Amino acid sequence: MIVRLWRHPDAAGPVVDASTAATIALVRHGETDWNRQGRIQGSTDIPMNETGRRQARATASRLGPLGWDAVVTSPLARARETAEIIADGLGLPAPDLEHDLAERRHGTLEGLTSSERRALEARAVPIAGLESRVSVVSRAVPSLLRLAARHPGGAVVAVTHGGVIQSVLLHLWERRSLPSGAVANGSVHELLVTGTRLQVVCSDVDAIGVADLAGEAPA
């Protein structure tokens, strides 16, 4: 996988110490009714459904053998409940909130289905309130760096959203898109953070046949 050096415009040059590298597992929250209906959620605070709770428990079981120090979460309810289930399953304290891991804002698209979105785009209707992927990366990546700095040499589960995970992966892989459904509910995407270097160690995206994305030209 590609290793990208992230440097905040106000940051000094990085001092990298491999012994303090931190592992962060980005986990997408469990399913909601809007997920099932194919509706765009964004910042709309839709709760998780029972399928999502089962997915969260399965993710906790999957993560369990690896050993984790803490769980953090987006403030949205679907992520918070997922994180609480995972923290309980791992025997860890209640999750801390990371506001910069909240879902990408989709403005007037929120609540629409994918087909309704395509219809709007075909009519070139302006999408008010849509957050750019650049904006998502500009808040999410520094949040992950701060999280790693708080847990040097540790391992943290960060429960967030499909739009955030996609934006981070696209940034690190230098791509413009991923296959539809690449970031599934309950999926895990493991990063290694060394200083200000972020590396994708493994990702559930690999399981759908795009493990070599890093070597492809952007599409």
Residue 72 CA to residue 96 CA, distance in Å, equals 5
* Distance of alpha carbon 141 from alpha carbon 42, whole angstroms: 18
160 forms beta bridges with: 28
In a domain, 57, yes or no: yes
Identify whether 121 is part of a domain.
Answer: no
DSSP 26: E
Whole-angstrom CA distances from 184 to 5, 178, 215 are 27, 12, 23
CA distance 20 to 149: 8
Q: What is the pLDDT of residue 181?
A: 86
Q: Which residues are annotated as a binding site for substrate?
A: 28-35, 78
Residues 130 and 41: beta-carbon distance below 8 Å: no
Note the pLDDT tens digit of each residue in 88-143.
Answer: 999 999 999 999 999 999 999 999 999 999 999 899 888 999 999 999 999 999 99
How far is 163 from 170, CA to CA, in rounded Å?
A: 10
User: What's the total number of domains in the chain?
Assistant: 1
Q: Is 75 part of any domain?
A: yes
Tokens 């891991």 belong to 101
Residue 146 lies in a domain: yes
Q: 215 pLDDT exceeds 50?
A: no
Whether 99 is covered by a domain: the verdict is: yes
125 part of a folded domain: no
Listed in sequence order, the residues at least 6 apart from 117 whose beta carbon sits closer than 8 Å to its beta carbon are 40, 109
Active site residues: 29, 103
- Residue 208 pLDDT greater than 80, yes or no: no
* pLDDT at position 4 over 50: no
| pLDDT one-digit tens code per residue, 29-45 | 999 999 999 999 999 99
* Torsion from C-alpha of 113, 117, 120, 122, nearest 10 degrees: -130
- Pairwise CA distance, residues 27 & 161, whole Å: 8
The mean per-residue pLDDT over the stretch 192-205 comes to: 95
Domain extent for 90: 18-40+48-104+132-215
Angle made by CA atoms 199, 200, 203, in degrees to the nearest 5: 170
Q: What is the pLDDT of residue 38?
A: 96
List of residues 6+ apart from 164 with CB closer than 8 A: 26, 74, 101, 102, 103, 104, 136, 140
Q: How many CA atoms lie within 13 A of 116 on its CB side?
A: 11
CATH number at residue 152: 3.40.50.1240
2 in any annotated domain:
no
> Is 0.75 topped by the overall pTM?
yes
What is the residue-averaged pLDDT of the chain?
Answer: 89
| Residue carrying structure tokens 């700095």 | 149
pLDDT of the residue at 10: 43
Looking at the chain, the whole-number percentage of residues with pLDDT higher than 70 is: 86
pLDDT at position 217 is 33
In a domain, 8, yes or no: no
